[in-house]
Structure 1
């Protein structure tokens, strides 16, 4: 093993870009960040066919081999090299990255690691094996010099169990020095308050202890984020002794530049008038055209907007694609009357008021609208959304223009009411969701609107991945001579 690591380090120090394998890659958020930081994307593993196709389009020129969905639970590392045509992983991969889906929480115990050690294919047949085990199996097979893992904060407290601690213990047995922490993307230049766990590890031959990048921005996070972090850290604080692997998040200072706001992220994209698009036949129930090009607005660009339009390899000059929204005719008027920061209870109250106004208007014109009549109920259903405001307070939210957006979730693939535009009576477009997640404007999402929203919501923000990749690259440069394991 030591000779393999030394060979990889020698190649990197000779000036060759470190080659990354992105597991559970999605459409490529981590890959984007690592590529920008100087890494080469050797391959990816992704089960969702639309996300796999997006990754292939953007990183491998639509190569059929790199655009196919791959089920990591039934694909061995050896079989992966055959599918991608990239050669033996131990010879071709220097870095392993990835974010195993959060539903895959499972105890990664030392007995499981020993089983993998003695029977490399055991994970294929063992029904207990979960996706974190697959990640570890690929780490063992490829022997990277470094690795990155991302997941939701609850991985630190999954039913009272800290899965991140178990993963780190397993990585230590494999010869790595791992550390993990919680980072919020808004503190690193992403216009979104997105809290995630990040784990970085270096092979012990590098004599490095991972450190995480210092914040570049500052924002006072809403209380809900503090509460969620405290819940996630509960199991960590209940441990008998201090964690060997956990690092407190780097502190953001109010002296830093303000976090990128929703307006700073989106204001150069052209306005969308849902009513006019309905009349013009652009907006409807049929599949949205994500390839339709729209011109940027002639407004002053923020630094963030310029970055999204000039990301290396994904530049856009005058136009952008995927600026398409959902067909939601009942709710556009409600959206327009909502104030910034309003959530579903306020939206429901507005809809009730609009309904009463319409009843009075029609009654003044002579309509027979009696309470509980069929006509009364039909009119109410056309104006008032059916969800109980006491049960779904966060279902809708109108963004604040001067603050980063709240966390984008994968259920954007089903609805986007959680992110209503701050100044236009509509939900955000696919391109706006991509901007809030820090995907550059030249990035192409394969599939229809629902698939694109899902890919965006599932992704690691590329700008967050870039900051982490920069830190890893910087630390790798410190390890020009392999040493012994750090004390």
Structure 2
């Protein structure tokens, strides 16, 4: 293509043609256009040709530029509560058992019996990782979290845990040494550096400073010398490259080895550990070299289909997590302040009203009921009797990725998202709705963390008296 990405953007703006409309006209995806204009990718010859042809079609360009938005103003209605939909959202047999399991996490967390092993949490967020480890019997002695509002949620639920710092990069070596003296030895360090620098949902910049945060994680490992360390991140970290063209995942593994740890990377899906959600993640399990055990994970507790060899239960579903909650349509609320539906514009309700489970408004046969932009993963219903889709921080946006309730026509409530993430109802969430959504969407599911913690706990029982090498 004769134009660079920068020139394409300038030409497009000169024509008053939006990126979405150029995507519609050329057939080249909007995310590809965006990446090209930002200089992140090169276009294929087919894409270049398609854009050239589109821009040369002056009549079509003029028509699109003049086309008015489908909806000039937002009108709001509360949709009717159809009896057949309300009855379809009936309570499943697995619902009470699941609520019992996650409520049990909080009961165990509040059990302050003596003889517990210890941990500290880095990049702790609202405390999902910590809750799982605390429920397994770990005393989470300290935590680090950058976001002040998330720290408040964490402190509500872990009042005796020491706030080590906000910005981990500001905890210099002298402060770190002081914290080691005050907190004492710990058996495990847990944490997941922010994933924006690694995930495809971000810009995936190899120079993003967040990509180096694991090195600050390692400073804590060096200072405390725990027997185990667990580092969680998005699965797409496995494809992220560093400035030299190597893989970031290898940088992390090699760094741990250089610091005296055996380490192994595992790809996990939270649904295989009783969490009612498709959530692909990676876990690094590191073990100090003097500890006579290899890095490992527990066997899955749940599986899709019948796996008699694993003796695992069927994966839990959206309904197992949420079917006891009050049925709500757009704009409705319940006694639980966290179970309140966002009010959506009438035209969006219209797009989605007849969309079946597992399908998107983009799949509508009537073009007038298709959203003007986005992908077929947006404006998409989940499936009632399947594991929920990945809970993200944007779960309250009906236009987001797979954020539409399977039966009602609305986005997910905070309570539904918390349940799907395996937070017990008694876990305290404070602050703005945005803060709470961010905390829940970024959290490690407590139930997944619990099974990992129990597995590590079994290993620790055989090496409790082992001391870190000098």
Question: TM bucket by the smaller chain?
Answer: 0.5 to 0.7
The verdict on how the C-alpha distance between 1:401 and 1:136 changes in structure 2, with shifts beyond 3 A counting, is same
Please tell me whether the aligned partners of residues 58 and 443 of structure 1 are also in contact (alpha carbons under 8 angstroms): yes
| 2:139 is the counterpart of 1:40 | yes
CA–CA distance in structure 2, aligned partners of residues 442 and 416 of structure 1: 29
CA–CA distance in structure 1, aligned partners of residues 225 and 169 of structure 2: 19
| 2:171 is the counterpart of 1:75 | yes
The verdict on how the C-alpha distance between 1:21 and 1:267 changes in structure 2, with shifts beyond 3 A counting, is same
| 2:385 is the counterpart of 1:402 | yes
Match of 1:21 in 2: 120
The verdict on how the C-alpha distance between 1:148 and 1:424 changes in structure 2, with shifts beyond 3 A counting, is same
Deviations 1:99-135 (A, max 9, x none): 00123459xxxxxxxxxxxxxxxxxxxx899201111
Work out which of the residue numbers 161, 165, 173 in structure 1 matches 2:246: 161
The verdict on how the C-alpha distance between 1:217 and 1:264 changes in structure 2, with shifts beyond 3 A counting, is same
Deviations 1:36-86 (A, max 9, x none): 00001111111112211111111117x8x74x970112222543687xxx6
| 2:222 is the counterpart of 1:140 | yes
Task: State the SS of the aligned residue for 1:73.
Answer: helix
The verdict on how the C-alpha distance between 1:72 and 1:40 changes in structure 2, with shifts beyond 3 A counting, is same
| 2:189 is the counterpart of 1:96 | yes
Work out which of the residue numbers 245, 250, 256 in structure 1 matches 2:312: 256
Match of 1:227 in 2: none
Deviations 1:2-33 (A, max 9, x none): xxxxxxxxxxxx96312211101111110010
Query: RMSD across aligned C-alpha pairs, in angstroms?
Result: 3.1
Work out which of the residue numbers 159, 165, 172 in structure 2 matches 1:60: 159
Match of 2:438 in 1: 454
CA–CA distance in structure 2, aligned partners of residues 475 and 419 of structure 1: 39
Work out which of the residue numbers 422, 434, 444 in structure 1 matches 2:428: 444
Task: State the SS of the aligned residue for 1:202.
Answer: strand
The verdict on how the C-alpha distance between 1:254 and 1:203 changes in structure 2, with shifts beyond 3 A counting, is closer
CA–CA distance in structure 1, aligned partners of residues 303 and 350 of structure 2: 34
Task: State the SS of the aligned residue for 1:396.
Answer: coil
Task: Tell me the CA shift for residue 350 of structure 1.
Answer: 5.7
Task: State the SS of the aligned residue for 2:119.
Answer: strand
CA–CA distance in structure 1, aligned partners of residues 438 and 116 of structure 2: 31
Task: Tell me the CA shift for residue 351 of structure 1.
Answer: 7.6
The verdict on how the C-alpha distance between 1:264 and 1:342 changes in structure 2, with shifts beyond 3 A counting, is same
Please tell me whether the aligned partners of residues 52 and 69 of structure 1 are also in contact (alpha carbons under 8 angstroms): no
The count of corresponding residues between Structure 1 and Structure 2 is: 342
What is the correspondence of 1:214-225 to structure 2 with a 5 Å cutoff? 214-219=299-304
Match of 1:185 in 2: 270
| 2:273 is the counterpart of 1:194 | no
Match of 1:419 in 2: 403
Match of 2:259 in 1: 174
| 2:254 is the counterpart of 1:270 | no
CA–CA distance in structure 2, aligned partners of residues 399 and 270 of structure 1: 18
CA–CA distance in structure 2, aligned partners of residues 458 and 128 of structure 1: 15
TM-score scaled by length of structure 1? 0.64
Task: Tell me the CA shift for residue 336 of structure 1.
Answer: 3.2
Match of 2:460 in 1: 476
CA–CA distance in structure 2, aligned partners of residues 15 and 205 of structure 1: 26
CA–CA distance in structure 2, aligned partners of residues 95 and 213 of structure 1: 16
The verdict on how the C-alpha distance between 1:476 and 1:332 changes in structure 2, with shifts beyond 3 A counting, is same
Please tell me whether the aligned partners of residues 337 and 350 of structure 1 are also in contact (alpha carbons under 8 angstroms): no
Q: Which runs of 5+ in 2 are unaligned?
A: 1-112, 200-208
Task: State the SS of the aligned residue for 2:168.
Answer: coil
Deviations 1:213-272 (A, max 9, x none): 10111127xxxxxxxxxxxxxxxxxxxxxxxxxxxxxx9968632100101110011111
The verdict on how the C-alpha distance between 1:60 and 1:481 changes in structure 2, with shifts beyond 3 A counting, is closer
| 2:419 is the counterpart of 1:435 | yes
Please tell me whether the aligned partners of residues 19 and 39 of structure 1 are also in contact (alpha carbons under 8 angstroms): yes
Task: Tell me the CA shift for residue 161 of structure 1.
Answer: 3.2
CA–CA distance in structure 1, aligned partners of residues 167 and 177 of structure 2: 14
TM-score scaled by length of structure 2? 0.66
Q: Which runs of 5+ in 1 are unaligned?
A: 1-13, 107-126, 221-250, 283-292, 295-319, 354-383
Please tell me whether the aligned partners of residues 186 and 260 of structure 1 are also in contact (alpha carbons under 8 angstroms): yes
